[in-house]
Amino acid sequence: MMSRYIAVFVGLVTAVIVWWTASKHYANDSWALAWVLPIVFSYFAFSIVTPIILALMADLQPREVQEVVVVHSETAGHHSSH
């Protein structure tokens, strides 16, 4: 549970840094989408960094495979509706 909080915090910090640098880069542009790109880039940064940090912090261990017991007590037959 704590690894999720840490991953989200690192993702948010990364998104803020990306937003700040993109805002500085597009600050003087008169292009219509110049105000949207820092938001989009920060969203992409958050969406990429957070799962990577979460996967790196995870304690991944293979699970044991449990046998599935299938019990057939009745034979297949026609239903009364047919």
pTM over 0.85: no
Residue 80: pLDDT above 80?
A: no
Rg (CA), the chain: 26
Domain boundaries, the chain: 2-57
- Average pLDDT over the chain, rounded to an integer: 87
Question: By the 8 A CB rule, do 10 and 53 touch?
Answer: yes
Q: What is the pLDDT of residue 53?
A: 94
Q: What is the pLDDT of residue 42?
A: 97
Digit-coded pLDDT (tens) for 18-52: 999 999 998 888 888 888 999 999 999 999 999 99
